[in-house]
Amino acid sequence: MDRREWLIKTGIAGTGLLLSRYLDAADRFRYMPAGDFVKADFGPDFKWGVAAASYQTEGAWNLDGKSESNWDYFSRIPGKIKNGENADVAADFYHRYPEDIELIKAMNFKIFRFSVSWPRILPAGTGAVNSKGLDFYHKVIDKCLSAGIEPWITIYHWDMPQVLEAQGGWANRKIIDWFSEYVEVITKEYGSKVKNWMVMNEQLSFTGNGYMNGVFAPGRKSLGAFMKSVHYATLCNAEGGRIVRKNVPGANIGTTLANTYVEPVDQKEKNIKAAARMDAIMNRLFIEPCLGMGYPEDTLPILKKLKSLYEDGDEAKMIFDFDFIGIQYYYRTIAKNSIIPGMRAKEVMASERGVPVNSMGGEIYPEGLYHILKKFSRYKGIRNLIVTENGTCVPDKLENGRVHDKERIDYFKNHLSAVLKARREGVNVTGYFVWSPTDNFEWDSGYTPRFGLVYVDFKTLERYIKDSGLWFKEFLK
């Protein structure tokens, strides 16, 4: 059996993970020369949007009845956030949302994806609803609608009431009831105005980084807690979808995933297998149970432990037929075999490989977005893909009111050409959302990484459209 046959037999090639290594060089992806496409090439119905999240932008952490979130609490623990920063003020979206929505409009985007802050709506986690919290998102939605921008709501983008986190958060099975109550409230409240909903933002990020690696709230480092958080977030993802379906007639319902294109460091069998294990965690863990395929325990046997958490009916409850799946792609991952228990794989960091990186050290690799779109298009149960996040952080400099971020413009051109190539090959990718409209608070990295199309001076909170924002304005007009 040659290597290609072995890959197909083991199912690894079926994931699209490694096949590119075995194609002739001529078949490999080629970028279109930057700028060699126009908006119309994506088709008249292609969706163009920007994406942001409550904790990263709103500030107003304790205003108008909002309670402390897990991130408000976590960011106050010394050493958790770079430079000891927090998002008490962030980009002050809470007060400046009209200006930010006008900026989105000025850049010619038609969709604004934002998340709702659970502790603003249900300060005690469950029970009494905070009417001022509800009002705030009504104002945001109304402002979008009057500006001709379609509001798309993400239900959960990592900020939960600390009172629930203190009871175990995602590692407590009660989260299914807590989360369902929250989803009931906001879908009933906003469902007549908002038709596009995403249940989760990147389950892997808040479960893995929150409960296993300890770098995100709540800062736990426990395999057991991680396993619980994975299973309960999987159940909540599907349950959330069902609640939106019930409460919002005609809704377009999705969920979003953290994706990375995984390749082995070389063609040694042990590294190929390590890359497949890495891929199982990074790309397959949350989509496959939702499609009725179960967790990818064939490739990563440690996931069999999840079975001990199953209660009657869980297998069916993990499934939901989403209208679209959100792909969130930033970087490629190179994997090699390691002795790390369970995973038996580790990442070869971009810094060791001398490749182009963003200011957080992630490899800039547009080709990976093409491969991820192709890979996800092969899942039978997925009907439609939207790139719900893509963007880059560069060390922007504000000079005379301008930010000349050519690097970011090149990034978008190359990633958009990857999307277009996938689309031209028949992948049903129907939208592209930039992360993010404005600079904001980048979790444990604080304010240093800037992802915005609009520069925010965090001292004065003034906004300046960067050259990349002006590029989109021209491109999308």
Task: Point out which residues bind ligand IFM (CB under 6 A).
Answer: 53, 56, 202, 328, 389, 435, 442, 451
Rounded CA separation 284/12 (Å)? 12
Query: 93 or 451, CB closer to ligand IFM?
Result: 451
What is the Cα–Cα distance from 76 to 459, expressed in whole angstroms? 20
Partner residues linked to 415 by β-bridges: none
Q: Name the residue nearer to ligand IFM (CB basis): 56 or 69.
A: 56
Q: Beta 385-389 vs 345-347: how paired, if at all? A: unpaired
Please identify, using beta-carbon distances, which residue of 90 and 141 lies nearer to ligand IFM.
90
- H-only helix segments in 203-294: 203-207, 223-247, 269-279, 287-290
Q: Considering the complex, what minimum distance in angstroms separates the CB of residue 218 from ligand IFM?
A: 17
Nearer to ligand IFM, 134 or 155 (CB): 155
Q: How far is the CB of 407 from ligand IFM (least distance, A)?
A: 16
Q: Using an 8 Å Cβ cutoff, are 326 and 254 in contact?
A: yes
Q: How far is the CB of 134 from ligand IFM (least distance, A)?
A: 23
User: Which stretches of 64-174 are DSSP H helices?
Assistant: 70-75, 93-106, 118-121, 131-147, 162-165
Q: Is 247 helix (H, G, I), strand (E, B) or coil?
A: helix
Of 113 and 317, the one with the shorter C-beta distance to ligand IFM is 113
| Minimum CB–partner distance for residue 202 and ligand IFM (Å) | 6
Burial class (CB in 10 A: 0-12, 13-18, 19+), 255: buried
Q: Which of 202, 363, 367, 442 is catalytic?
A: 202
Closest CB 199 distance from ligand IFM, rounded Å: 15
| Helices 93-106, 131-147: crossing angle, 10 deg rounding | 20
Q: Residue 256 CB, nearest distance to ligand IFM (Å)?
A: 8
Measured over the CA atoms of residue 56, residue 57, residue 61 and residue 66, the dihedral's sign is negative
Collect all residues with Cβ–Cβ distance below 8 Å to 6 and sequence separation of at least 6.
none
Q: Which of 98, 183, 189 is nearest to 135 (CA)?
A: 189
CB 281 within 8 A of CB 300: yes
What is the distance, to the nearest Å, from the Cα of residue 433 to the centroid of all Cα atoms in its chain?
11
Query: Dmax over Cα atoms in the chain, in whole Å?
Result: 66
Cβ proximity to ligand IFM: between 56 and 237 the closer is: 56
- Smallest distance, Å, CB 393 to ligand IFM? 7
DSSP secondary structure string for all residues of 144-201: HHHHT-EEEEEEESS--BHHHHTTTGGGSTTHHHHHHHHHHHHHHHHTTT--EEEEEE
Q: Which is nearer to ligand IFM, 97 or 441 (CB)?
A: 441
Q: Report the distance separating Cα 53 and Cα 463, nearest Å.
A: 18
389 is catalytic: yes
Nearer to ligand IFM, 43 or 361 (CB): 361
β-pairing, 463-465 vs 150-156, is: unpaired
Two tokens at 192? 């007549």
Q: Report residue 146 as tokens.
A: 């009057």
State the nearest-atom distance from the C-beta of 78 to ligand IFM, in Å: 23
What six digits make up the tokens of 235? 């159940």
At residue 338, φ and ψ (nearest 5 deg) are -155, 170
Distance of CA 44 to the CA centre of its chain: 25
Exposure on the CB side of residue 354, measured as CA atoms within 13 A = 0
Catalytic residue among 58, 263, 389, 442: 389
Cβ closest to ligand IFM, residue 165 vs residue 439: 439
Contact 331, 363 (CB under 8 A): yes
Residues in the chain: 477
Minimum CB distance to ligand IFM, residue 92 (Å): 17
85 is a catalytic site residue: no
Specify whether the backbone of 248 is left (phi greater than 0), alpha (psi in -120 to 50) or beta. Answer: beta
- The catalytic site residues sit at 202, 389
